[in-house]
Amino acid sequence: MQMIRTLERTGKSGTLLLRIPLTRPETECEVIVVVQPTETTATATTPEDRGWPAGFFERTAGRWQGDFVCEPAGDFEGREPL
């Protein structure tokens, strides 16, 4: 048995077309399809609905204090010429 997971989008008609390449041509296979719509921004309106912990952005976003500083990288070791 082989499990294949794919993410596809339905067309305007609402039809989902699947093409699944297999390694054995002209072989009869039993196929089981489980349809699970993904959560979209239309149904997920809050960060919690999208899977983020409650209050995550309030605790992290906008918390940087000070200036962004790029420190010197220091001296690099020399390499032998090719």
pLDDT band at 76 (very low <50, low <70, confident <90, very high): confident
14: left (phi over 0), alpha (psi -120 to 50) or beta: left
Radius of gyration of the chain (CA): 25
Which of 30, 38, 28 minimizes the C-alpha distance to 7? 38
Amino acid, res. 7: L
* Stated pTM of the model: 0.36
Q: What is the pLDDT of residue 23?
A: 83
